[in-house]
Amino acid sequence: MQSFSTPGSNGNNVWTVQITVATIKRVQALVGVNLLDVLDSKSHLLEKLSTDPILLCDVLYAICKDQAESANVTDEQFGQALAGDVIDHATTALLQELADFFPAAKRQVLKKALSKLRQVEEKALEIASAQLDSPELQQQLEHLLQPAKT
């Protein structure tokens, strides 16, 4: 089991992410997402869960639905609490727990895919940061801000 915390009106809420067959069926019924598709590279579900916070929130709420109802937290309140670093922690909890759901051979493949996805995301952020720090960008911006010559 994995967990993540969200801020709440009465302090932090801790959400337990546990993937079982029943959970997968509930997510399929409520969200229309088959979590087993993470093993299908053509579905791109792994990337979607990592990059789409709306999909992530819907899936997590479906997983944590019983906990949310017990805590009187609506899906809207749940979504409002998913912002900033919480999204990162929730994504990690979901993907790690999803990998742990599978038998050893498939688990290894999925964990390798998760590792590669993290490497690609880190590299993309490094490139974006380097581009923003580049003198060329600064020159282009300064050029755009100069008044037009008539």
* DSSP string covering the chain: -EEEEEEETTEEEEEEE---HHHHHHHHHHH---GGGGG-TTT-HHHHHHH-HHHHHHHHHHHTHHHHHHTT--HHHHHHH--THHHHHHHHHHHHHHHHHS-HHHHHHHHHHHHHHHHHHHHHHHHHHHHHH-HHHHHHHHHHHSPPP-
Q: What is the pLDDT of residues 26-35, one digit of tens each?
A: 999 999 999 9
> Considering the chain, what is the average pLDDT of its residues?
87
Q: Give domain limits for the chain.
A: 2-145
pLDDT-derived band at 128, boundaries 50, 70, 90: confident
Q: What is the pLDDT of residues 4-15, one digit of tens each?
A: 989 865 567 899
pLDDT-derived band at 43, boundaries 50, 70, 90: confident
Given a cut of 80, is residue 117 above it in pLDDT?
A: no
